[in-house]
């Protein structure tokens, strides 16, 4: 079973070109499932011993443990993908998880920041320490380009074209797309790059990563989350906001201003238009709220 799992993870990383984060998530989800199967069946488990009944028991156990609906759905989907892979490799003759579905996820609108809130965040004084320009460039780029935080972490110097206001982004599945930079983000990035060169020289280090920590190594997703949390607190803004909130804000503000939804889809790097359409629901909800507050006969 461990060999079958390792083979699948290699397939994700090499053949499907999945990111390290995606492979890690599949590993964690499937390891939990295999541990459950082993405890129920006693000892090691061969793939052919997995049945629909066992999978339903796993689904029920996840519910009992109090996992969120989204987590349960993801773990069932991971098992289904793995068994489908084993079928293609001839290890199994049928995918017993094909008809198994996780719980229906609640439809929630993405959390975003208002125009006033984003202006307040980006106008905050970040101090005069050497990395203040870095922090400004990070927040400006997240909002201006609408990139995922993982995409921001992986940016290299060659990905930036500040003269044209374009950056090359490697998204999910390592697919490349172009993202746009506004005037403020171009200026912030330009100032950070000047500081960055001096900063690296003082450390006697060399790297092509755009955003660095105090040791001169690439920033992590978690580090950028902490940076944003610090400035949200200073600005007195909603602490629930995350780097991904700035991506939601980017899309919502574009659609509010009349941007074409397919253009927004392309900028976000969404494979399906339905993923982007959630932001039209946000805009519609805001319009309805304004109507009910303002119209005398609403």
CATH classification of the domain holding 60: 1.10.150
125 and 84 share one domain: no
Is there a single domain that holds both residue 252 and residue 183? yes
**CA–CA gap between residue 212 and residue 230 (Å, rounded):** 17
* Structure tokens that stand for 47 in this block: 């793939």
Q: Which sequence positions are flagged as catalytic?
A: 148, 172, 244, 247, 270, 279
Mean pLDDT check: name the lowest of 92-101, 188-197, 202-211, 221-230: 92-101
Among the listed residues 57, 92, 93, the one whose alpha carbon sits nearest the alpha carbon of residue 76: 57
Domains in the chain, number: 2
pTM: 0.71
Q: Is residue 100 part of a domain?
A: no
> Do residue 84 and residue 120 come from a single domain?
no
Q: Does position 25 have pLDDT exceeding 70, yes or no?
A: yes
Residues spanned by the domain of 119: 115-293
CA distances from 160 to 112, 136, 245 (A): 27, 16, 23
End-to-end CA distance of the chain: 61
61 assigned to some structural domain: yes
Same domain, 135 and 262: yes
102 is a domain residue: no
Q: Please say if the pLDDT value at position 272 is more than 90.
A: no
With 0-12 / 13-18 / 19 or more C-beta atoms within 10 angstroms meaning exposed / middle / buried, residue 259 is middle
Q: Are residues 142 and 254 both part of a single domain?
A: yes
pLDDT value at residue 83? 95
Distances (CA, A) of 66 to 53, 54, 60, 75, 107: 20, 19, 10, 14, 19
Give the separation between CA 118 and CA 296, rounded to whole angstroms. 31
Please indicate, yes or no, if residue 222 is contained in any of the structural domains: yes
Q: Say whether both 84 and 126 belong to one domain.
A: no
For residue 16, which phi and psi values (nearest 5 degrees)? -90, -5
What is the rounded CA–CA span in Å between residue 71 and residue 31? Answer: 14
The more confident residue out of 153 and 44 is: 153
Residue 172: which CATH number?
1.10.443.10
Which is more confident, 188 or 291? 188
Residues 143 and 275 in one domain: yes
Which tokens go with 85? Answer: 């892979």
* Structure confidence at residue 104 as a pLDDT band (50, 70, 90): confident
| Domain-located, residue 93 | no
Q: How remote is the C-alpha of 97 from its chain's centroid?
A: 27
Domain assignment present for 108: no
* Whether residues 204 and 276 fall in one domain: yes
Residues 275-286 have pLDDT tens digits of 787 877 666 666
Residue 21 shares a structural domain with residue 148: no
Structure-block tokens of residue 203: 């450390």
Please report where in the chains the tokens 């607190």 appear, as a residue.
233
Answer yes or no: do 121 and 77 share one domain.
no
Residues 275 and 143 in one domain: yes
Q: What percent of the chain has pLDDT over 70?
A: 92
Asked if 41 and 49 count as a contact pair (C-beta separation under 8 A), the reply is yes
Give the model's confidence band at 142: pLDDT under 50 very low, under 70 low, under 90 confident, else very high.
Answer: very high
Cα 268 from Cα 148, distance rounded (Å): 9
Whether the per-residue pLDDT at 173 is higher than 80: the answer is: no
Residue 223 burial (CB < 10 Å; 0-12/13-18/19+)? middle
Q: Check whether residue 41 and residue 83 sit in a common domain.
A: yes
Confidence of residue 20 (pLDDT cuts 50, 70, 90): confident
Contact 237/121 with Cβ under 8 angstroms? yes
C-alpha–C-alpha distance, residues 280 and 26, integer Å: 31
Tokens 């399906």, residue located: 272
Tokens of 1: 């079973």
pLDDT at residue 232 is higher than 70: yes
Q: Does residue 255 register a pLDDT over 70?
A: yes
**Closest C-alpha among 84, 61, 117 to residue 237:** 117
- Region of 117 (left: φ > 0; alpha: ψ -120 to 50; beta: rest) is alpha
């Amino acid at each position: 079973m461990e060999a079958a799992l390792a083979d699948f993870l290699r397939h994700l990383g090499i053949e499907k070109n999945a990111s390290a984060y995606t492979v890690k998530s599949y590993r964690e989800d499937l390891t939990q499932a295999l541990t459950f199967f082993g405890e129920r069946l006693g000892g090691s488990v061969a793939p052919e011993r997995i049945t629909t009944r066992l999978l339903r028991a796993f689904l029920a156990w996840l519910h009992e443990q109090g996992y969120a609906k989204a987590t349960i759905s993801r773990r069932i989907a991971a098992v289904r993908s793995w068994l489908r892979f084993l079928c293609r490799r001839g290890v199994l003759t049928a995918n017993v998880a094909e008809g198994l579905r996780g719980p229906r996820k609640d439809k929630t609108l993405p959390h975003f920041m208002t125009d006033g809130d984003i202006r307040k965040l980006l106008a905050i004084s970040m101090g005069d320490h050497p990395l203040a320009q870095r922090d400004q460039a990070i927040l400006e780029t997240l909002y201006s380009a609408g990139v995922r935080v993982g995409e921001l972490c992986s940016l290299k110097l060659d990905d930036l074209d500040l003269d044209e206001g374009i950056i090359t982004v490697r998204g999910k599945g390592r697919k490349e797309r172009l993202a746009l930079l506004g005037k403020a983000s171009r200026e912030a990035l330009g100032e950070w790059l000047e500081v960055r060169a001096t900063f690296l020289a003082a450390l006697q280090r060399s790297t092509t990563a755009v955003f660095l920590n105090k040791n001169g190594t690439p920033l992590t997703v978690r580090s950028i989350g902490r940076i944003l949390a610090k400035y949200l607190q200073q600005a007195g803004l909603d602490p629930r906001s995350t780097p991904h909130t700035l991506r939601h804000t980017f899309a919502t503000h574009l659609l509010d201003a009349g941007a074409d939804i397919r253009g927004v889809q392309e900028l976000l790097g969404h494979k399906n238009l339905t993923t982007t359409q959630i932001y039209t629901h946000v805009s519609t909800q805001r319009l309805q709220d304004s109507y009910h507050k303002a119209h005398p006969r609403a």
